[in-house]
Amino acid sequence: MRKNIFSLLIFTLTIASSTYAQRSTLTGTAVIYGSGYNTRTISRTFTLIINDRSSTSDLTGFVETLQSGGQDALKRELDRRDVGRFSLGSSVGVPVGAIRVDRDGGDTRIRAIFTRSIGFGELRQGLRSVDYPFGYLEIRMDERGRGEGTIIPAAKIRFRGGDTIEVEDFGTFPGRLMGVSLRDGRLR
């Protein structure tokens, strides 16, 4: 009995340490340009926590879901996933549904999609922004762990055929992610 408990403890610690080793945290500053009634520009710190990465089969499944059921079906699928967390300022943030980390040239490229928080006022007033339920970000990091990127805080995602997916920004310009640095963990 004692040996089984000890073996279970070792197994649990091994899994916990391997899970912790995969976690990465990126921080930086987000500059987001307003649109519509709210035309102010905001600047906030951001944190992207990567707990896991979406596999190629996950991404293929997301594309098939988008193709067959549209962005509402994709939203339901992403809401069931939790591979990380994205937050602006000191907020708790939102779960990230898909994260892809790959190499593009000499840089590491990180792309993430999450379901954004839609406020009650947005829903009650029936604003057009409700049709843009996703957030999307793309970051390019160099080998030193420094980088920059773009953020689309309110996005609409469409399947255009073949391997083409369109991410449409609700605002006039995508936001900027500046001074991005890898705080802990590793990306590859």
Widest Cα–Cα separation across the chain: 67
Question: Along the 188 residues of the chain, how does pLDDT read in single tens digits?
Answer: 444 444 433 433 334 434 444 689 999 999 988 765 666 788 899 999 999 999 999 999 999 999 999 899 999 999 999 999 999 998 999 999 999 999 988 899 999 999 988 878 777 887 777 888 999 999 999 988 899 999 998 899 998 887 788 898 887 678 899 999 998 877 76
Q: Which residue has the tokens 């930086």?
A: 28
In total, the chain counts a number of residues equal to: 188
Distances (CA, A) of 69 to 57, 73, 74, 162: 18, 5, 7, 16
Task: Give tens-digit pLDDT for 133-151.
Answer: 999 999 999 988 899 999 9
| Gap between the Cα atoms of 110 and 148, Å rounded | 10
Task: Give tens-digit pLDDT for 2-22.
Answer: 444 444 334 333 344 344 446
Cα–Cα nearest to 108, from 49, 186, 12, 51: 186
Q: pTM of the full predicted structure?
A: 0.80
